[in-house]
Structure 1
Amino acid sequence: MDTQLSEQCKSRLYRLKFEAPLESVAFVLADSREAAWRIGKTVMAVLLGVGVQTIALQGILSFRELVRTGVSDDADMRIFEIVVAGRKVRQWAHAPYFLTDDATLLGKWAELRADLAADIAREALRRAR
């Protein structure tokens, strides 16, 4: 598979990392970092049933920043990298919140999950031999 992210994602996507009340990741389309911050905090407060003041963000990165700092061969896949050590992804986003209905973003997520599942299956087969 080779899903390509939409131009809308490439120009308006932000990844938010939350640290409280729970550690999580969310993707949102917004016109600015400040707008992404407001949307993310508000929606997460509603989803979690807490006051917006209890939502703590660890960081907000734009699509361009994520691509620039990522390491995956597929530049669009870099948005899902959470921990990178050297030139290897050590942790991918797990169960992120998608605060958008952009089909290309959801397709890219499905592609990542399929790739990771295939890697697990290949490793199990290798061990079984």
Structure 2
Amino acid sequence: MTKTTRSELFEFDHPCPIRDVLDRIGDQWSLLILKSLEHNAMRFNSLHREIGDISRQMLSRTLKRLEKDGYITRTVYAQVPARVEYALAELGISFLKPMNTLIQWADENHQAICRARKRQN
């Protein structure tokens, strides 16, 4: 077994995998985008309509970040006007199972969480 050096540890954006991953996908929009792409590739305007209350600028920023992190792919088709589609990459597909489990848990427990918040106010 080899020992991990300090330089190898900081080869990543953050030495803690949990914080590094959750900081990136735990924002307000990433899970909604990934969920929207679960069954098929989508164009920017379709994603914007699907999500609804996200600004175009925030959608663009979040798509770029998800692409950079390897969750989605961006395909540009050579036609006039250019057509761009976003789809889940292999990493995004592998994330569907834990993501859907989290979504199901949130759906099942949302009322209890809201009641607990009201008790604290």
The TM tier, using the shorter chain, reads: under 0.3
Bigger Cα Rg: 2
TM-score by length of 2: 0.27
The answer to which structure, 1 or 2, has the higher relative contact order (CA under 8 A, 6+ apart) is: 1
Instruction: Considering fraction of residues, name the structure with more helix.
Output: 2
